[in-house]
Amino acid sequence: MRLLVTGAAGMLGTDVVAAAAVRHEVVALARADLDITDAEAVRAAFHDTRPDAVINCAAYTNVDGAESDEETATRINGDGAGHLAAAAAEVQAHIVHVSTDYVFAGDATEPYPEDAPVGPIGAYGRSKLEGEVKVAQAAPASHSIVRTAWVFGPHGKNFVDTMLRLGAQREELSVVDDQLGCPTFTGHLAQALIEVAETRPNGILHVAGGGRCTWRDLAVATFAAAGMNVTVHPTTTAAFGAPAPRPAYSVLGSTRSDAPALPSWQEGLNAHLTLREVLAS
């Protein structure tokens, strides 16, 4: 299979490219190679490369920044995703589009299934929902929208590495303890996205790390696994005061047998820490 990967130099895209290259021909396009907001450039890239499938890892991911620049976020996450889906449909390629738990309001008490009502409470979530709509409209018969959550990996800025950096500088930290979600390791997610590109399930799938925890839980587990003695105090989302609202509950569940099941978030954390050591050596 010839697989085109957009956002190929990002935290997730880097792992997707590396994993896919083991068994597929990969066309890796970073932001510098392709501006997905340019519809004609996207169309030309697809006609030049003629992929069998595309995994879209290109995204505007600055959740707080989106609050003051929703237009840019929507141009990338919404319009850009639609351009990719339209171009994929023209060359009969299947599109795998990565979306987010932030399309939900966060007021649930049980894991969100794929058909749960959406209702984003922030600009980032709205921009990603726009992308879902445009992908489904442009490629109705050959698209997979993969919602995931709380992504971390060694090739970009992420919560786990931030905790390790801060923990090396301080003996005590305060971390938000009133948001519940599913931390997801890019190495596990990348393999799942490739599987989806191969099997081509149509529609929305929820694919995230197994289990659930709060950000504080993740911080505590990170320090324990890394052998660091750091006290982690609980704080609230309101007290933390981030510009963008976050869903209080964004645990993803799946009712689809064709949605890949990922290992637990704890396994993902351990894999991430091990890989960090390898890359640092």
How confident is the model over 21-79, as pLDDT tens digits?
999 999 999 999 999 999 999 999 999 999 999 999 999 999 999 999 999 999 999 99
Examine residue 199 and state whether it is found in any structural domain, yes or no.
Answer: yes
Examine residue 221 and state whether it is found in any structural domain, yes or no.
Answer: no
Rg (CA), the chain: 18
Residues serving a catalytic function are 124
Examine residue 153 and state whether it is found in any structural domain, yes or no.
Answer: yes
Examine residue 52 and state whether it is found in any structural domain, yes or no.
Answer: yes
CATH of the domain at 79: 3.40.50.720
Examine residue 226 and state whether it is found in any structural domain, yes or no.
Answer: no
Give the Cα separation of 81 and 138 in Å (integer): 10
What is the reported pTM?
A: 0.97
Examine residue 120 and state whether it is found in any structural domain, yes or no.
Answer: yes
Q: Which domain holds residue 54?
A: 2-214+241-280
Give bridge partners of residue 231 from the DSSP assignment. Answer: 172
Mean pLDDT by 10 residues, the chain (281 residues): 98 98 97 97 98 98 97 98 98 98 97 98 98 98 98 96 96 97 98 98 98 98 97 95 94 98 98 91 80
**Tens digits of residue pLDDT in 93-113:** 999 999 999 999 999 999 999
Examine residue 93 and state whether it is found in any structural domain, yes or no.
Answer: yes
Domain count, the chain: 1
